[in-house]
Structure 1
């Protein structure tokens, strides 16, 4: 029996953290053949050439599909980008002939791959569908869900939302978040080792800041980042700052970050290798910003999180998350709350809703046994009118 061609699409450092173990396990399977397509911000020098993270993991890259030009103003060019990239994916899928594609989340890269696969009658497996967040990402995520043939939601609540969209029960398989898998699989550095590697003072409070733009407020992204950084400066907090994704408004955020590069309390990185990043989560006193990873991964590390703004206001979370407005006084108060001994003690008793770290194994085993046939491709609504 020939191995099934499984095409995994990764467009950013964020989704690669969720897909890395799946790629490795597919690559070792006798029943599956890995086809890895790299696209999106992975190929942008100004965002750190995150394709190097994949190369360092020795995972074979089948094809690179350039999507953005260096220096693009994404909000102005996105329509053209989507159209041109659909053409590139069409050529690649016709050449590679995948039996099924795997995509994750809610960015434009998985949407483009899903649209192309639908037109070419290629089955789609979608990870982390059914989530809610509160921004335009939600629209993209739910569109991808309706285009997909197999669903791997991360929580029981997300699985139920997919059922309510009319998806057939046999298509839905809740194994947890693959991000939990990758965090549990890493051999973490000690706090002392992390501080030495990143030139930090291990005796001072340590904050991790990861803030992206909300596409509905992209013109305000710079001012919002400026407020966050001003609070951190005024509180005299040692902070590791990581560049945002390449969403509309990201260049405004990067400008504010770079304006503060000479601040002795700030250490600024375009990217961090995965082991260092998770070790940092295990070492810092608080995470601040609006990263979805902060809500999904932080419970494993009993880490207080200040979640700013509306980008992830509706995302499923545990009691370690404190919501804040893009407001100086509110952010300052919420940081102080998150750093308090009382709140840190509360975080020690968290139960992570995102699974037990076995999702990648279960997904790959499922794909090994999956029948690719007409029944898989022809979708039916479960609700009656």
Structure 2
């Protein structure tokens, strides 16, 4: 007898929400699926734009909401926020009682809900596993979520290989591409003039978008890198500069203060929009000449929108790059030189032909097809998948 599958999608911040929207939309509109939505984390933080409102505006119902983020941004406070999240998620999953939990990425909010799902033997489908970000604490979080998940959707074949390397059975690991690229390919982008009228800032030439987040593996580098970036921007007085808000991570408050001060001191040049929403953000990137910072969006969506990227520091180290991405150090001279190069005719033309290494824009259908048809009973309990090559206890390959 056929039964409708109850699928719960978790979103903990704007960082995962934009990528999940295509999948959530397809699940919501599918008659064979009962979509439930669990919202938490940065979505409920006013400084992040209180993006729960955007979730509702996009036509989704937040079936459960967990307020978990403490006001402080110290490591101790983040750890306590994790604990609050776990308590709230345990109760939320008990009430929702889904057949399958879907989550994306590598943040501590997602780790907390994955732990709760594991303890109740709830199958988990994980998007964006197998990625590498050596300059942040995301790597161990991402890999931990992988080990608590049962179905995996990766953005590339290399990432699929890494998930299998972690002991996941190849039959449960699907290279679908990243659904965030689907958003780029299908987005009805807002025109330059319309964007300017909404946000009160003309996108003159050049337009520089700044998206900068804490480097969680090295908080001191976060401060140094942003100071260098702000110093470098002084050499582009004719540029329109649009800042987006920082993530809810340790050290985020001090970075936000630096950005607030810069915008206050450069009112004719710079604006800060804490949370744009997916479509306005993609439209802004499309109209910009360069995206500068250390966000993953500079490596994923930005190349697909044919805009140049200046990636600062080590936060995204290990991720694949399109030919339109320029990596640079964390000094003002490094950042200034990289922006100059990104604004050159050569790089601007190269960006027009760049392709994102994160997929072909057709990930959503592949993902939803698996979510609807996968045999859930076969997923729990999990078994470890050993690679074909055996190794001795000493670490030497056996003959």
Equivalent residue runs for 1:1-385 within 5 Å: 1-69=2-70, 71-134=71-134, 135-236=136-237, 237-262=239-264, 263=266, 264-383=268-387, 384-385=390-391
| Distance (whole Å) between structure 2 residues aligned to residue 172 and residue 183 of structure 1 | 24
Whole-Å separation in 1 of the counterparts to 2:82 and 2:278 = 29
261 and 375 in structure 1: CA distance in 2 versus 1, 3 angstrom threshold? closer
**5+ unaligned residues in a row in structure 2: which ranges?**
392-399
Question: What is the alpha-carbon distance in structure 1 between the residues aligned to residue 357 and residue 380 of structure 2?
Answer: 29
> How far apart, CA to CA, are the structure 2 residues paired with 1:85 and 1:354?
30
Give the secondary-structure state (helix, strand or coil) at the position aligned to 2:271: strand
Shift of residue 347, structure 1, vs aligned partner: 2.2
SS of the residue 1:215 aligns to: coil
> Aligned in 2, Cα 1:203/1:106: closer, same or farther, shift over 3 Å?
closer
Asked whether the equivalents of residues 41 and 68 of structure 2 are also in contact (C-alpha less than 8 Å), the reply is yes
| Mean CA deviation greater in 220-229 or 166-175 | 220-229
Aligned counterparts of 1:104 and 1:188: Cα–Cα separation in 2: 24
| Local SS of the residue matching 1:173 | strand
Residues 149 and 379 in structure 1, CA contact (< 8 A), matched pair in contact too: no
Query: Which deviates more from structure 2 when the two are superposed, residues 43-52 or residues 99-108?
Result: 43-52
Alpha-carbon distance, 1:220 to partner: 4.7
- TM-score w.r.t. structure 2 length? 0.92
More divergent stretch after superposition (255-264 vs 11-20): 255-264
* Alpha-carbon distance in 2 for matches of 1:176, 1:218: 31
Contact 1:123 1:377 in 2 (8 A): no
1:337 Cα offset (Å): 0.5
TM superposition shift of 1:180: 0.6
Q: Take 1:95 and 1:271, find their aligned partners in 2: how far apart are those partners?
A: 30
**Local SS of the residue matching 1:379:** coil
With 230-239 and 331-340 compared, the bigger mean Cα shift is at 230-239
- Alpha-carbon distance in structure 1 between the residues aligned to 2:281 and 2:124: 30
Q: How many residues align?
A: 384
Q: Hey, what's the Cα distance between the residues in 1 that align with 2:362 and 2:223?
A: 39
Equivalent-residue separation in structure 2 for 1:229 and 1:366 (angstroms): 45
User: Which is further off, 184-193 or 36-45?
Assistant: 184-193
- Is the CA contact 1:221–1:252 (under 8 Å) kept in the aligned structure 2? no
Q: Deviation of residue 183 (structure 1)?
A: 1.8
> How much has 1:78 moved relative to structure 2?
2.4
CA RMSD of aligned residues (A): 1.5
Deviation at 1:83, TM superposition (A): 2.4
